[in-house]
Structures are given as C-alpha cells and as structure tokens.
Amino acid sequence: MPLRSTLAVLIALLALGSVGPASASAAVSLGQTARAGAGCDATAAIAQTASGAPEYAVRIAGVITELRTEDVAVAGRRLHVFRPRGSNSYAVLASVAVTPGSGVIRVPVRVTVQPGDVLGLSTGPAPDPHPNCVIPGSATSTRDAFAYRDTAPAPDSGEVTLTDARFGRVNVAATLEPDGDSDGFGDETQDACGDDPTRTAQPCSADLLVTQLPVETDIERDDVNVITIFVRNNGSSLARDVRVTAPLPPGLQLVATTPSSGACAASAPLDCTLPTIAAGATGSVLAVVRATSTGDKAFTATAASRTPDPNEANNSSTLQFDVKARRSVVSPGAFCRVPRLLGLNRTSARRALEAAGCRLGLTSRRRFRSGRFSRVKLQSIPARVRVATGTRVNITLRRR
C-alpha cells in the first residue's frame, strides 16, 4: 500500500532493547531486504527508528562494511546510516547511491558505528511512487516505526531532521563486523590485521624477542636456580598464543614453572602458553631448575606465536653455565641452600624449597584473599643462606 504524504506523527512504540557487549565477536546482519514491497514518497528521507524483527539498530559497536537493498527500479535511491541526536535530529554517518537493478544490490561501505545507530534510506525525485521501499506487509505493523520527511533526501553529511513518523520496515540491510583494534576497518573483510590499529592492508606482525636471566650465575650440584625467560613483543600487533618451550639438558631437572599468564605443562620439557602479549609488552616464564650433575649446561628457550614474526632469528636464547661440585665439606642433603623465591607462584615456591631441601612454612597474603596470579613478594629467609634440612621458609604473596 503506497504511503500517504501526510504529516502524521507517531511515537516509536518499541524500545530498542538492551545493549549487548562492548564489541562484537563476529559479523552480524542488520535490517532486511525483500522484493515486491510497498512504495515510498518521492524525495523522502527515512530512518528506521524501531522494528519488531529483525533489528535495524546497532546494538554492538563495530564497522558496517556493506549496505544492501533489493529490486530498485528508479534512480535516486540512497542508503544511509544515521545516529539519533535527539529532538528528531539525526547525524548522517553514511549516504551511498544505489544503482537500479533487480535482486539484492550490495554497496561496500566503511562506517564506524556505535550502539543506537540506525539504518535508513532516501528516495529520489518523481516518478512517484518509488516501489519496493518498504518490506511487504510491514506498513501495517505498529511494531515497525520509522521517522521521515518527504521534502528532500538526506544530505551526504551533517544532520537531517525527520519530524514525521509512520509504520513500516524499510528495504535496507547491513553487515556489521567487529573492530577489535578500533581502526575503523571491519576486522573480517577490511582489516588484514584485527589486532593492530597501524596495519590494515598488511598482515599482523609481532617480533618476539627471547632473553633469559638466571638468579645464580655460578651454581653447584644440587643447587636450585631460577631462570627468568623473558618474551618481549617488539612488533606493532598483539601476539597471540605465544608458546614458550625449552628442552632440559642432561643433568638439569625442571622443578616448577610460573608463567606471567596462561599455563605450563605439568612436567618437563618446559612448555608454556601465554595467551597474548601486547605490542611493546613483555611476558615471562620463571623456570625453577635443579642441577643434578656437574659440568657445562646449555638451556635454550624458544618462543613461537601464531601471529606472523618478521624475524625468527631472535626467538631463541641459550643460557650457558657451569655446574661445579659441592664445595662444602658437608655431604649433600645435609643442608638446604635457600633458593630465591621472588616472583614465583605459591606452588612453584613450595616445589623450589622442597627441591633445595627446605619446606614451605606459613603463607601470608597482603590485602587480598587469594588468586591464581599472586606471586611471592617476601621470603622469611634470604636466598643463598644455608640452613638445616627441612627448615621452613615463610612467604608473603602479593597480586602480580
């Protein structure tokens, strides 16, 4: 049924519904297209302010990458994205021309949107009416409200005032993609790297750099040492699924591991996965090892990520150290040389103490109850002190 060009004012009866999560995780479709629908007035601008179903309003921030309509017979049709400004005013976020044709007509766009933004269209000048402007049968549903004016199409930019209202669902649809890095390019079809605002045409790039730092540079057989494996992301993109591996050379036993995030395999070889390392950030794995034989040892740690790395040469680091025989006249096992526990989680601290011949004493937590990311801040007996076997060492944990 063709729409009348009266100035009937209607109130949008349908609320837009609750707002969803802050950003979309996958592309969603907005609006609807169809053929053989009702016509519209000439030179009108229309914003779909409410609809029963499907949703014409953006509920999750992202980028609209395509606008669609169907079976347009007359030149002058334009598709829009509007941002309601209140008082019947709408900012024009997008205004694209439609080439008349049959079937679904797709127009690629790149429009950053936020929750509350709505789809709309403009019709060209006479001949009037403009067919297939409104979805068949929807013009009678009070659940489908739109605001409009019939004096001119919407401008390509700026604002438009749509003071009148009617019922109907307009013949426009859109694809809304997530934009996780907020660069204004839809992450699924427009952005070669959705984890990096500086890259849109080029794939992601995360140059991982591995270095190691041992607590002890000079150890004796049966000593416990803590090696920190640092993984720095020197690239501009987020590094995902960073896997840190290190085989144990003969005579070196893996006692425990503490990753800065993620998790490690329960036993040797060292195999940890840090879920993400941001650009410019550094992740780490603390490896507690115990020397079980004397001689030269080489401990090589390697990092890999599913994010492309432009320089694989710096993804490994080898730590060389020489394990001496016990200089003490006391037989091994008769004392505990207290290991350095700083930065270890509670489980690693307990294992390090037990591997050295001590025991974990009391655990105190400062200003928080618990947490898997709590780390040792203080130990009651300093590192390198020799105490009787079985001596308890108390620790204080803090949030990492």
Q: Is residue 315 within the footprint of Ca ion (CB under 5 A)?
A: yes
With CA atoms as reference, report the closest residue to 352 among 246, 249, 216.
216
Q: Which is nearer to Ca ion, 66 or 181 (CB)?
A: 181
Q: Which is nearer to Ca ion, 127 or 203 (CB)?
A: 203
Q: Give the gyration radius of the chain's Cα atoms.
A: 32
Token output for 229: 């494996």
Shortest gap between Cβ of 87 and Ca ion (angstroms)? 33
Window contacting Ca ion (CB under 5 A); options: 144-152, 195-203, 214-222, 320-328 = 195-203
Q: Is residue 309 within the footprint of Ca ion (CB under 5 A)?
A: yes
CB of 160 closer than 8 Å to CB of 46: no
**Alpha-carbon span 80 to 45, nearest angstrom:** 9
Task: Kindly state the DSSP code that residue 365 receives in the 8-state scheme.
Answer: E
- Over the window 152 to 181, marking each residue x when it contacts Ca ion by CB under 5 A and - when it does not, the resulting string is ---------------------------x-x
Which of 164, 207, 216, 222 is the binder for Ca ion (CB under 5 A)?
Answer: 207
Window contacting Ca ion (CB under 5 A); options: 2-10, 242-250, 305-313, 342-350 = 305-313
**Alpha-carbon span 77 to 154, nearest angstrom:** 11
- Give the helix/strand (H/E) hosting 92: strand 89-97
Place of tokens 């992202």: 62
**Alpha-carbon span 278 to 237, nearest angstrom:** 7
| Nearest residue to Ca ion, scored by beta-carbon proximity | 191
Residue 181 burial (C-beta neighbours within 10 Å; 0-12, 13-18, 19+): buried
Which of 5, 88, 282, 314 is the binder for Ca ion (CB under 5 A)?
Answer: 314
Shortest gap between Cβ of 291 and Ca ion (angstroms)? 30
Q: Is residue 144 within the footprint of Ca ion (CB under 5 A)?
A: no
Q: Is residue 185 within the footprint of Ca ion (CB under 5 A)?
A: yes
Residues that bind Ca ion (CB under 5 A): 179, 181, 183, 185, 187, 191, 193, 196, 200, 207-208, 309, 311, 314-315
